[in-house]
Amino acid sequence: MELSTRFEDALVFAVRLHTHQTRNGSGIPYIAHLLSVSAIVLEYGGKEDEAIAALLHDAVEDQGGAATRQAILERFGPIVTEIVDGCSDTDEMPKPPWQARKEAYIAHLQTASPAVLLVSAADKLHNVRSILADYRIVGDEIWQRFRTGREGTLWYYHALLEAYKARQKTPLIAELERAVYALDALPDNPPVQIPGTSAS
């Protein structure tokens, strides 16, 4: 599949929307996450609309709510917008309480489209991979980045995994399952300091 100028436009749009945003606790530019999710979508057979939605999957939730949704609709059309909507757990500011949002999001996956499931699972796979990678640097301090700590984080990813598995069995879901079980297996340890890096 050859990507069109729509994908290029979406990439520029995503960079501009998230230019001042960084990943929680790591300081990594947020666009790195969006690029990774889009790459995972393409690697697992996604179409261009799905890859574009992957670049924009956090735009409504984190960068402008309804106004951003309207901009996405006008620029990229209803298919992309529907996928972004399906990957967003709120467009409200301030956001509703965490537990209620996550439970509603998990419930919504029961009826989500295959395109939403693809982008959503790709997002969660990259999140879990990032936690695993950062754990190797900061150890148990990683759980301090999450408001619900280790217990709540593991609950969320297991609940998501079960929701995905109830809908479909794909190589992507199998890879996510392996990553979630690797998260389970992380020991209670201090960070292993890698030469040339800092745990702070």
Which are the contacts of 5, defined by CB distance < 8 A and separation ≥ 6? none
Q: Give the distance, in angstroms, between the CA of residue 199 and the centroid of all CA atoms in the same chain.
A: 24
Q: 49, 50, 61, 85: which one is catalytic?
A: 61
Per annotation, catalytic residue among 62, 85, 123, 175: 62
- The verdict on whether omega for the bond into residue 96 sits within 30 degrees of 0, i.e. cis, is no
d(CA 18, CA 55): 10
Assess whether 85 carries a catalytic annotation: no
| CA–CA gap between residue 129 and residue 37 (Å, rounded) | 11
Find the helix or strand (DSSP H, E) in which 183 lies.
helix 171-184
Catalytic status, residue 50: no
CA separation for the pair 30, 22 (Å, rounded)? 5
Distance in angstroms (rounded) separating the CA atoms of residues 7 and 54: 11
Query: Residue 179 and residue 173: Cα distance in Å, rounded?
Result: 10
Catalytic residues: 61-62
